[in-house]
A and B are shown apart, each in its own frame.
Chain A
Amino acid sequence: MNTIDISYTSLLIVFCVLIIPLFILFYYQTGLLKQAVISIFRMTGQLLFIGIYLKYIFEINHPIINISWALIMVIITSVTIISRSELKQKFFIIPVFLGTFAGIMLTSFFLLFFVLKLKNPYDARYIIPITGMIAGNCLSAAIIGIRSFYSNLLKDEEKYKYYLSCGANTSEALFLFIKNAMRDSFSPAIAQMATIGLISLPGMMTGQILGGSSPLLAIKYQIMIMAAILAGNIITVHLSIFFSKQKSFDTWGNFKKEIFNKNTN
């Protein structure tokens, strides 16, 4: 590895790049200036904190600590999915956690055990970046999917009732809603897969090349991670909806409005 280090002074110079967009946000009175400055500070603070934290985790490199870190990522992902979908944590935390856990951990462990065939699959150098990348992508896919499922159900509740009145059981009546949620959720990932390498170079691959890996090795890792991300996304969204629907309907199959965070009545 022969990555060129970035000094803290150089890192400060990076912030000069942000002067132009911040000025444009200010000039057009977008109202986003304050939010943008806060977000830049948060991003910097969070990443520096994680950097320091990960440095120690990598030094200790204990399986229990590494798995716990991956679990914390799963929990944070679940909590964020629920809050961004405007749903109540108390109804959804267990079902979404189960879906997210299966989506992230099953695919990560599959890569660690069967694709990379590591002697120590719990090595921090592998388990943390792999679960992190899959979790980050599952987060955005699951927010789109779960949000689409519940908001469409709220909007077209009459249609759901109509299917029930035609003799459907809850799963049959929800079929089209799940289908639409899956479409909304996976269309961006599928489109991205089709154009990757042509109009965009993915972050992981770029990072590896900058880190000194050969482009071919970086591409192999990228293909592996893209496949895992798609599998993880589908498992997370499908299982989160599957488990959460048990909490979202009463014994008569009627949709419970109290699951939403805001007053939707």
Chain B
Amino acid sequence: MISVNNLTIEKNKKKIVKNISFFIKKGETTCLSGRSGGGKTSILMSLMGFLKPNEGIIEINNLTLCDQNIYKIREQLSWLPQSIDMGHGTVYDTLMFPFSFHINKKNTPSIQKIKENLTKLKLNQEVLKQNYNTLSGGEKQRIALLLCFLLKKPLIILDEPTSALDKISKKTVFNFIKSHKNITIISSSHDKEWISFCDKTIKI
């Protein structure tokens, strides 16, 4: 599913990722762990083509990251960013906006489906009418995670997925993720509970 070979990334002429290689199988949940500033987020950003690798080859679902494939690759993934201020308007508007994109139209979820998933994530259904920016960090993180799964992409990229969650919410989120099969997840985190939840850890 994901193959990274000798990846080197430079930022401001400084190598922040040096010769990293790894392979992730389809359906695996993987965590990139290591010290802060070690390049975990940069690797995730380069998988999505937001940081161009200086050296090395990245392949996702047999597509090599390059000019021709970049948009095809992005069509196959969804991302939970570290900063979760991605909303505009109500929570419902925030959840539905990505389904206005041509590629996602066919996967537009019903209101029933959204409500079921909110319950699974222990979120009140009334939250849909609330302004996204008024939510707490933990609520925003769960809404952003819900969107990742609603988009029905084979690959999900999670950057510090538990950073705003308390112990109870973490358990809820782990159960929610477990209930979805055949999805490949690559994440970055220092959180020990998340690391032990993942199938595999790659030290960066």
Contact = CB atoms under 8 A, between A and B. Distances in A.
Interface string A133-171: 000000000000000000000000011011111111100
Contacts of A169: 71, 101-102
Contacts of B83: 158
B67 A167 contact: no
Interchain residue pairs A-B with the least CB separation, the first 6: A165-B79, A166-B98, A167-B103, A168-B101, A167-B75, A252-B49
A40 interface: no
Interface of B: 48-50, 52, 67, 70-71, 74-75, 77-79, 81, 83, 85-86, 88, 97-98, 100-104, 147, 151, 153, 157
Contacts, number: 65
30 contacts: A158-B85, A158-B86, A159-B86, A162-B79, A162-B81, A162-B86, A163-B97, A163-B101, A164-B48, A164-B74, A165-B50, A165-B74, A165-B157, A166-B78, A166-B98, A166-B104, A167-B75, A167-B153, A168-B98, A172-B102, A175-B100, A176-B88, A251-B67, A251-B70, A252-B50, A252-B52, A253-B49, A253-B71, A254-B49, A254-B50
Nearest to B65: A252
A161 B157 CA distance: 13
A52 B79 CA distance: 62
A167 B154 CA distance: 12
Given A163-B101, A254-B50, 6 more contacts: A158-B83, A159-B86, A166-B151, A167-B104, A176-B88, A252-B52
Select the residue from A159, A165, A172, A176 with max chain B CB neighbours within 10 A. Answer: A165
Nearest to B49: A252
B79 A167 contact: no
Interface residues of A, number: 18
A165 B78 contact: yes
Contacts of B102: 169, 172
A159 B89 CA distance: 14
Given A169-B71, A172-B102, A254-B50, A158 B81 contact: yes
A251 B85 CA distance: 26
A165 B77 contact: yes
